[in-house]
Amino acid sequence: GVDLSGRNFLKLLDYSTDEILYLIDLAAELKAMKKAGEAHDWLHGKNVVLLFEKTSTRTRCSFEVGAMDLGMGVTYLDPKSSQMGKKESIEDTARVLGRMYDGIEYRGFAQSIVEDLAANAGVPVWNGLTTEFHPTQMIADMLTVREHTGKLAGNKLTFMGDAGNNVGNSLMVVCAKLGIDFCACGPAEQMPDAALVEQCREIAAENGCTITLTEDLDEGLAGTTVVYTDIWVSMGESADLWGERIKLLSPYQVNAAAMAKAAPNAIFMHCLPSFHDLNTTTAVEVNEKFGIAEMEVTDEVFESEKSVVFDEAENRMHSIKAVMYATLK
Ligand code: CP
Ligand code: NVA
């Protein structure tokens, strides 16, 4: 059987297919228990710390509710209120927090930071999003895919737009591990790193699936059962990039015409937050500057029956709880 106790959760390249499936199954079990009102405070007496160098709604709340449901204490450190990276090194921060807590979540910048934390903490470290990867999102996403399509392998997932971002990279990895055909559909400039593509192609070959990169919408969406997109400028990137990204990525907007190119039963997914709601302050600023009406997904698709984005958001909590339980038990 799979035993993940004591393990870090930094990127899915470190996890086997069986281990990833185990986490998805565990998330489904914990979700069923939560719905049935069955207590699962199995980690009573343990404490975790959440270290955020970027903002968050879903990930932070998922770690907090997940920890509380498991009976744990939880400390949240916001982007400004710790010494880390300013007065204190990553290594020293890790060694201090590792003496006090049973597990550490990190959201922030380079993947090397979370790897560095893990190397020095002496307790499990979980990646809550870095510039390169967003692995907890993947457990939630794959649970959502399975709930809505009834399977994992046998699907084709197409990521539209900024395919080389943390979510695009992570989807490519998890699809390769799980036998899902993955397609990055976007401009050549925004594709995942070539070395990572190569690595994922090798993994995909072992699992009977393919990795395709294309600029062509028809090729990208033919037979697609899961259409996925993400915001065009990620956290930590300069707001000056909006003009260039709008120009590059507008052809890859997920709108009704794009959905019509996919399989008839295709679902729409988005990690959120999304720019479909142009009343948010960031969207208003971008809109005023560039006069663009809609961005990575239209309101029509976002609000359609094909959209499973709020199941996906809810599943963040069940799957993050699964990651904490599996590694701390
Ligand atoms: N999807 C996701 O990670 O959302 P937050 O940035 O709100 O945590
Ligand atoms: N690519 C986005 C994902 C947010 C959950 C970002 O990094 O901002």
Within 10 angstroms of residue 265's Cβ, the number of other Cβ atoms is 9
Asked whether the predicted pLDDT for residue 66 surpasses 90, the reply is: yes
- Rounded to the nearest angstrom, the distance between the alpha carbon of 242 and the centre of ligand 1 is 20
Domains and CATH numbers, the chain: 12-133+315-328 (3.40.50.1370), 138-314 (3.40.50.1370)
pLDDT at 222: 98
* Positions of E strands within the chain: 47-52, 73-77, 103-107, 125-127, 156-160, 181-185, 211-214, 226-229, 267-270
The 3-state secondary structure of 16-62 reads CHHHHHHHHHHHHHHHHHHHHCCCCCCCCCCEEEEEECCCCCHHHHH
Asked whether the predicted pLDDT for residue 251 surpasses 90, the reply is: yes
**Residue 59 phi, psi dihedral angles, 5° rounding:** -70, -45
Nearest to 253 by CA among 293, 290, 222: 293
- Sheet of 125-127, strands arranged across: 73-77, 47-52, 103-107, 125-127
Contact 268, 306 (CB under 8 A): yes
What is the rounded distance in angstroms from the CA atom of residue 197 to the CA atom of residue 219? 18
pLDDT at 210: 98
Contact 192, 172 (CB under 8 A): yes
Answer yes or no: is the C-beta of 234 below 6 A from any ligand 2 atom: yes
Contact 273, 57 (CB under 8 A): yes
Answer yes or no: is the C-beta of 315 below 6 A from any ligand 1 atom: no
- How do residues 259-277 score in pLDDT, each as one tens digit? 999 999 999 999 999 988 7
Contact 262, 221 (CB under 8 A): yes
If you write DSSP's letter for every residue of 237-275 in order, what string do you get?
Answer: S-GGGHHHHHHHHGGG-B-HHHHHHS-TT-EEEE-S--T
pLDDT at 116: 96
What is the rounded distance in angstroms from the CA atom of residue 64 to the CA atom of residue 85? 23
Reported ipTM: the value is: 0.99
pLDDT at 114: 97
**Token pair of 251, please?**
């052809």
Q: Which atom of ligand 2 is nearest to the CA of 137?
A: 5
45 Rama class: left (phi>0) / alpha (psi -120 to 50) / beta: left
- The answer to whether 253 is a known ligand-binding residue is no
Nearest to 160 by CA among 288, 301, 312: 301
pLDDT at 25: 98
Which residues are tagged catalytic? 107, 134, 137, 230, 271, 316
